[in-house]
Amino acid sequence: MSFFIFLGIIRFKIWTIGFGKKEIKMARIGYARISTNEQNLDRQLERLQDTEKIFQEAASGASRDRLQLEALLDYIREGDVVVVTELERLGRNNKELTEVMNEIQEKGATLEVLNLPTLRGIEDDNLRRLLNNLILELYKYQAQAERERLKERQAQGIAIAKLKGKYKGRKALFKQDDERLHHAFSLYLSGHSDRDVSKLTGINERTFRRYRAKYGVSR
């Protein structure tokens, strides 16, 4: 096969792949959050004016209820762009941020953070989105490394406490025969997601996943 025939086949394959791609309509969806000790949402809302829809709420750092964030995650579709003014609006710690960013990516959507300085002045939408995703991936890697270091320090602290006879362990929230926990397991086994179970029972989503793993509850 000659080089020119081979090149022609490659070009044809690229053309057919591009022709076969489904065109996805993109929507820009904003999310704004303030803690209860902040005054108002005006500054964030002003920066989110170019979005088609905005989810907004006031939630303190101690509160686990982020109803508008959950509504946003249910609302977004493939191709959408979630826009926030700062990354910390999506979560109070690295673990929460990583979970939310992963869920956005799993939906086929992308995240745009307006205060990332490296993206200012880039007019090409595709290039800006690519760089934005790269930065977020680096951030998630850094967050994961930080969590691993924290776990290592905690393990060292527990080991030292055990040697000194001072470690009693964390008290379990639920015993194996707890009715509320059994109800949550039943909901999960009937087809409800972890998020649904959390909403219906009031058990924290991460706590429920931990107890599922502990007692081997899976579908």
Looking up residue 47, the CATH number of its domain turns out to be 3.40.50.1390
Last residue of a domain, one of 113, 142, 171: 142
How far, CA to CA in Å, does 189 sit from each of 122, 139, 192, 219? Answer: 48, 34, 7, 6
**Whole-number pLDDT of residue 170:** 67
Q: Is 11 contained in some domain?
A: no
**Whole-number pLDDT of residue 56:** 93
35 classed as catalytic: yes
Residues 115 and 200 in one domain: no
Q: How many domains does the chain have?
A: 2
| Segment 63-116, tens digit of pLDDT | 567 889 999 999 999 989 999 998 888 887 777 888 888 899 888 888 888 876
**Whole-number pLDDT of residue 53:** 96
The active-site residue out of 35, 60, 63, 193 is 35
Q: Is 84 contained in some domain?
A: yes
pTM: 0.53
DSSP string of 152-188, one letter each residue: HHHHHHHHHHHHTT----PPPSS-TT-HHHHHHHHHH
| Segment 145-186, tens digit of pLDDT | 777 888 888 888 878 877 877 766 667 788 878 888 989 999
Domain that holds residue 204: 179-215
In the chain, DSSP assigns E strands to: 28-34, 53-58, 81-84, 110-113
Residue corresponding to tokens 């959390």? 198
pLDDT bin (cut points 50, 70, 90) of residue 60 is low
CA–CA gap between residue 81 and residue 111 (Å, rounded): 6
| Segment 4-56, tens digit of pLDDT | 444 444 343 433 334 444 555 689 999 999 876 666 788 999 999 999 999 99
Q: Is residue 28 helix, strand or coil? A: strand
Residues 105 and 196 in one domain: no
